């Protein structure tokens, strides 16, 4: 630090360094924040003269600016919530990632409905952008067909039949583990409860209904001619119908009702405190709701109806499997009677 002292100061007979810290930001009068400080050294050189007692003082100041605070890069990742590799996390640490069917893609989705180079994620460190690369079947963010979209934390990205959830923030590891836990209870496509959670909850409700002598009913329904929808409009349209129907019905049920995807296009809604008569009323309401709903996929209206089987608990009922079997028998009767109708016990 003393390299700046030249031979001209060789006559100094006293050298006294003094150290202090001062605020150096222009216009900054608040010296209470350590990150605002530079380190300042004042070196005073006193030179004595042969005549008199006068002393010349030379002050040399060296200021070293402390490193400014570095803004951390925002973490981001894509998590598969529906499709092959369920639960797999793709960290977005680089500047860009290609998603597609090709084995050369950074994120490969080996499905016929996915283009070889389908979409691209551009990560600046502060924002992430999803860009479609002219794919055949399009890229969807929150069920909206996009050319390019800035991704927000929690957005759903659908490419082919695979659905990703975009996570970003200061602690995506925690968010990722929360999402994995949620996947143990929720169906990734429809966002209603999955079969495992449905059966566990229904088992508890059966026990509660017997213990307190309370009514309990279920309705079981599936989409009429769903195979024809897939064959006519494609599997992407079929996925859209499943999700749209699920969300439409879910919005109409009570908080205490439990709606779950039993399998394929079959769904169950458990209705605590509801007897057989009121369960039939509710089932008819749901049937009409679906029949009147406008299912619009890529500017094409798809006609959708459902058939419903209804069952109410009985004293000898002991398991969810028995309960669902009885509702399924009534569902089968509804289909054989012409579909788009409700049949109960």
Q: From the candidates 75, 179, 205, 265, give the one annotated as an active-site residue.
A: 265
Task: Give the CA dihedral 102, 105, 111, 114, nearest 10 degrees.
Answer: -90
Number of H helices, E strands in the chain: 6, 21
What is the C-alpha to C-alpha distance for residues 31 and 35, in angstroms, rounded to an integer? 9
CB atoms within 10 A of CB 174: 11
Find the radius of gyration of the CA atoms of the chain: 34
182 neighbors 247 (Cβ within 8 angstroms): no
117 neighbors 100 (Cβ within 8 angstroms): yes
Strands of the 216-223 sheet, one edge to the other: 258-263, 266-272, 216-223, 306-312, 342-343
CB half-sphere exposure, 25, CA atoms < 13 A: 13
What is the C-alpha to C-alpha distance for residues 104 and 180, in angstroms, rounded to an integer? 27
Q: Beta partners for 58?
A: 45
| Measured distance between the N- and C-terminal CA atoms of the chain, rounded to whole angstroms | 94
86 neighbors 109 (Cβ within 8 angstroms): no
What is the C-alpha to C-alpha distance for residues 18 and 217, in angstroms, rounded to an integer? 85
Listed residue (285, 262, 263, 287) closest to 274, CA to CA: 285
Active site residue 265: yes
Just list the catalytic residues: 265
């Amino acid at each position: 630090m003393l390299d700046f002292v030249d031979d001209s100061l060789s006559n100094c007979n006293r050298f006294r360094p003094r150290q202090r810290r001062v605020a150096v930001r222009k216009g900054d009068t608040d010296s209470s924040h350590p990150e605002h400080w530079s380190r300042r050294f004042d070196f005073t050189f006193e030179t004595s003269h042969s005549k008199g007692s006068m002393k010349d003082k030379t002050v040399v100041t060296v200021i070293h600016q402390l490193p400014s605070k570095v803004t951390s890069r925002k973490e981001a990742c894509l998590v598969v919530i529906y499709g092959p590799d369920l639960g797999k996390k793709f960290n977005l640490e680089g500047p860009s990632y290609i998603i597609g069917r090709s084995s050369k893609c950074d994120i490969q989705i080996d499905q016929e409905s996915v283009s070889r180079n389908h979409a691209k994620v551009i990560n600046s460190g502060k924002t992430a952008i999803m860009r479609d690369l002219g794919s055949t079947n399009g890229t969807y963010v929150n069920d909206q067909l996009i050319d390019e979209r800035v991704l927000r934390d929690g957005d759903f990205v659908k490419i082919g039949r695979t659905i990703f959830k975009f996570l970003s923030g200061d602690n995506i590891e925690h968010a990722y583990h929360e999402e994995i836990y949620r996947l143990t209870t929720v169906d990734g496509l429809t966002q209603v409860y999955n079969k495992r959670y449905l059966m566990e909850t229904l088992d508890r409700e059966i026990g509660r209904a017997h213990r307190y002598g309370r009514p309990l009913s279920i309705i079981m329904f599936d989409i009429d001619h769903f195979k024809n929808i897939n064959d006519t409009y494609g599997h992407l349209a079929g996925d859209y119908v499943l999700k749209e129907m699920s969300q439409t019905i879910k919005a109409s049920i009570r908080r205490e009702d439990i709606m779950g995807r039993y399998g394929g296009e079959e769904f169950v809604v458990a209705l605590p405190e509801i007897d057989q008569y009121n369960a039939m009323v509710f089932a008819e309401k749901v049937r009409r709701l679906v029949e009147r709903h406008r299912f619009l996929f890529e500017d094409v209206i798809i006609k959708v109806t459902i058939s419903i089987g209804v069952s109410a608990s009985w004293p000898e009922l002991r398991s969810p499997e028995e309960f669902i079997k009885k509702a399924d028998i009534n569902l089968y009767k509804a289909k054989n009677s012409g579909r788009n109708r409700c049949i109960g016990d």
